[in-house]
Amino acid sequence: MRILVFNAGSSSLKFGVFDIPRGAGLAQMRQCFKGSFDRFGAGGCEYRAGLDMPKPARAPHTSLEAATLAVPDILAEAGIEDIEAVAHRIAHGGAEFTGATELTAPVLDHIRALTPLAPLHNPANLQAVDVARKVWPDLPQWGVFDTSFHLTNPARATTYAVPKAWRDAGLRRFGFHGTSHKYVAFRAAEELGRDLRDMRVISLHLGNGASACAVAHGQSIDSSMGMTPLEGLVMGTRSGDVDPGLFGYLSRQMGLGIQEIEDALYRDSGLLGLTGSADMRDVEDRAAKGDSDAQLAINIYAYRARKYIGAYAAAMGGLDALIFTGGIGENSPSMRRRICDGLEFMGLKLDHDRNMAVDLVGQAAPQIQAYGTRVNVLVTETAEQAMIAREVAMAMSAPRAEALRIPVAVSARHVHLSRDAVDALFGPGYDLTPDKPLRQKGHWAARERVNLHGPKGTISNVAILGPLRDRTQIEISRTDGFALGLDAPVRHSGVLQGTPTVRLQGPAGQYDSDGLIIAARHIHMNSKDAQQMGLTDGDSVSISLATTGRGLTFGDVLIRVSDNAFTEMHIDTDEANAAGISGAVEGELSGEAILRAT
């Protein structure tokens, strides 16, 4: 499959063509062309073309539209043909677009309505789409959204503490640079030879736009950008975090209107506001010559990034890898060092020589941490266009099997015990008594029960499920967590690193164990059903309950495939209550709902 990708900005257009074998991962993709137009002006623009991206030449194109119209001739001259789809980076997709989406007229209308939330980005993205539809009227146009990767952020990370009427009107945090953060997180896991679902990663995308992202066990759980791309880190022309009280203050003291203030925060702040230049290379050169404004700007930039690293490491309960990407993250050894210095207490320290010798040729992802330190630090070029092409190819080739109806089971609170836990709770050598077989072959509910004790309260008569496991796991609902006074994270079964400790009480004694989780919704799927749907272990799907309860759709449902599984979806009691489920319920999984995990 051959896909043309556009990444349009207000003063630039980047594009690339990718060949993607059906069902291939990032490693099997081949980029067969790339080009860029930069710095549109009355005299034309800078232009580069070719995989080696030579020094820029001048081109006569004075606008994004003119540059887009020039692309067909450029591709024809390079012998690039047989394009099957055109893909676009879209900055803001709101909460509706969870993955690659075909850009139909209603979809484009919805994106246009989001323009006030991304005034520097969405208009340029949409202009490129409009021109491409005219140039390639017979090709499908697809969008991939910067916000999609962050839709897994929990409500506590996305909710502003503002009046309900504001929240009902759509005021919430979204996060951006999602395609970049997703790519570099997977790239780091690949480089380290680890499964991203077993890692806690912080991605720092540092460029003219800058953001930090916390990726825990394969999912974005927080991002420094908020409702708009203005919140968070210091950027080239954007302020990042400010006190919202400045609007009232500047209105009273300087007579500025809301639009004036907002425009200044987007276009006249950040490095530009601090130094008069939005280019970190220029700022670093001036700082080395004694410019105090430039020196302060560098300190602020690094300090803000370092604060987010500490905050996100705390939010994830630890850190396994820190990744630098973006123009500054990739090219400034001194900024990487400034950001990392002082983080030795958390096992993060750079090696001077490795940091100075970073070589990113061939999408390399070199490690630059000091030898023997616990936290890996990597640098890699982001490859947003490659990720966009891959997601569109996956969406276009997703199976279109008949919808599969899946029974939905509500899992009440329960525990899985280890041998040590059974000995402590019921006595050495005690064997649990299987009382009731479960639908999953070889699993059963025991006759015995335990109590859970937390700092706020106790939950009694909690079921024990067998057989025994190597490590104790306690599964509760979010409401149960508040009853106990403990903050249990949403995790997939067996992912227990950094989970809270709770006290279990049995007739023979007590046992303190970590492993307290809210089980992420998932589907146990028989291999035959998985084959019918074209699914593999680790994929994610959406399940619609449109014919029952309150008609909810559950997204990001993990598929766990095995030969002996009984195909069944598991949700907890809070989710069942939210869906209005009572009695036997089935959900519907369709081919269009499939998302690949890697």
A 10 A CB-CB count for 533 gives 23
In whole angstroms, give the CA distance from residue 365 to residue 439: 45
Question: Is 280 within any annotated ligand binding site?
Answer: yes
Question: Is 560 within any annotated ligand binding site?
Answer: no
Question: Is 384 within any annotated ligand binding site?
Answer: yes
Check if 146 is active-site. Answer: yes
- Catalytic pick among 146, 222, 529, 539: 146
The region that residue 53 occupies, defined by phi over 0 for left and psi between -120 and 50 for alpha, beta otherwise, is: left
Virtual CA dihedral for 575, 581, 584, 590, nearest 10 degrees?
A: -70
E strand residue ranges, 146-241: 200-206, 210-216, 219-223
Question: Is 526 within any annotated ligand binding site?
Answer: no
Question: Is 205 within any annotated ligand binding site?
Answer: yes
Three-class SS of residue 493? coil
Q: Which helix (H) or strand (E) covers residue 41, if one does?
A: strand 30-41
Closest CA to 239 of 258, 254, 224, 249: 224
In whole angstroms, give the CA distance from residue 533 to residue 460: 41
Residues 6+ apart with CB under 8 A from 417: 425, 432, 464, 468, 469, 472
In whole angstroms, give the CA distance from residue 172 to residue 149: 15
A 10 A CB-CB count for 128 gives 26
Closest CA to 294 of 306, 304, 285, 303: 285
Question: Is 328 within any annotated ligand binding site?
Answer: yes
DSSP-assigned beta bridge partners for residue 141: 86
In whole angstroms, give the CA distance from residue 310 to residue 294: 25
In whole angstroms, give the CA distance from residue 108 to residue 113: 9
Question: Is 299 within any annotated ligand binding site?
Answer: no
Question: Is 171 within any annotated ligand binding site?
Answer: no
Question: Is 89 within any annotated ligand binding site?
Answer: yes
User: Where do we find the tokens 């022309």?
Assistant: 237
- Burial of 27 from C-beta contacts in 10 A (0-12 / 13-18 / 19+): exposed
Provide Rg for the chain, Cα atoms: 26
Closest CA to 322 of 215, 418, 405: 215
Question: Is 208 within any annotated ligand binding site?
Answer: yes
User: How close are the terminal C-alpha atoms of the chain, in Å?
Assistant: 18
Q: Are 591 and 534 in contact (CB under 8 A)?
A: yes
Question: Is 329 within any annotated ligand binding site?
Answer: yes
Going from the C-alpha of 250 to that of each of 253, 257, 273, 356, 466, the distances in angstroms are 5, 8, 16, 43, 63
Question: Is 330 within any annotated ligand binding site?
Answer: yes
Bridge-based pairing of strands 540-544 and 210-216 is unpaired
Q: Are 349 and 339 in contact (CB under 8 A)?
A: no
Question: Is 207 within any annotated ligand binding site?
Answer: yes
The region that residue 534 occupies, defined by phi over 0 for left and psi between -120 and 50 for alpha, beta otherwise, is: left
How many Cα atoms occupy the beta-carbon half-sphere of 560 within 13 Å? 15
Virtual CA dihedral for 239, 150, 169, 572, nearest 10 degrees?
A: -140
Which residues carry a binding-site annotation for ATP?
14, 205-209, 279-281, 327-331
The binding site for Mg(2+) consists of: 7, 384
Give the residue numbers annotated as catalytic, written as ranges.
146
From the annotation, which residues make up the binding site for substrate?
Answer: 89
Binding residues are 7, 14, 89, 205-209, 279-281, 327-331, 384
